[in-house]
Amino acid sequence: MGKRITSTTEKIMSRKSTDYFIIHCTATKPSMDIGFEEINRWHRERGFLSCGYHFIIRRNGVIEDGRTTDAVGAHCRGKNHNSIGIAMVGGVTQEDHTKAEDNFEPAQWESLKKLCDELHETYPEAQVKGHYHFSDKFCPSFDVDDWAKADLLWVEGDLVPGDPGYTE
């Protein structure tokens, strides 16, 4: 996993609870290696105070901080007050920016797992969800439930063949 980069943002209203880690994609082509700087600019152009995500995972796996983890996000309507937003860079095809594609790099998956595990230590009751759980968008371009069950040991349902209770 790459190094972790932090940024400073102005203080935004504090969140009172953390019930979800909501995974997003940036809906950018795999050739676009963007990060906090670009997303912050895009979100400000849309009228946000700053980047709406709390974390951005670049194509090389580097985790960049967006908003502080205690700040209300601007990433999922109706859930900003009780969630942490994590954006993985990529998520659409090179040819068509409207077509979802799971094109994330191995370093991004490793960083996503590490970040979720770290956040779970601080917020043990929070659930991992995809943006699509709360929106009609197929964001982040992969099945978050399947990923979480397979990769996060603290998420129930990660049975594999041979485990007691496993059924096909």
3-state secondary structure of 44: helix
Residue 23 CA to its chain's centroid (Å):
3
- pLDDT of residue 163 exceeding 80, the answer is no
- Give catalytic residue positions: 24, 53, 131, 137, 139
Which string of DSSP letters, residue by residue, matches 26-40? --B-TT----HHHHH
Q: Rounded to two decimals, what is the model's pTM? A: 0.86
DSSP letter at 141 equals S
Q: What ranges do the domains of the chain cover?
A: 4-151
Q: Which of 7-16, 56-65, 159-168 has the lowest mean pLDDT?
A: 159-168
Q: Are 105 and 60 in contact (CB under 8 A)?
A: yes
Instruction: Give the model confidence (pLDDT) of 54-112 as tens digits.
Output: 999 999 999 999 999 999 999 999 999 999 999 999 999 999 999 999 999 999 999 99
Residue 50 to residue 104: CA distance in whole angstroms: 25
One CATH from 3.90.1170.50, 3.10.129.10, 3.30.420.40, 3.40.80.10 for 4-151: 3.40.80.10
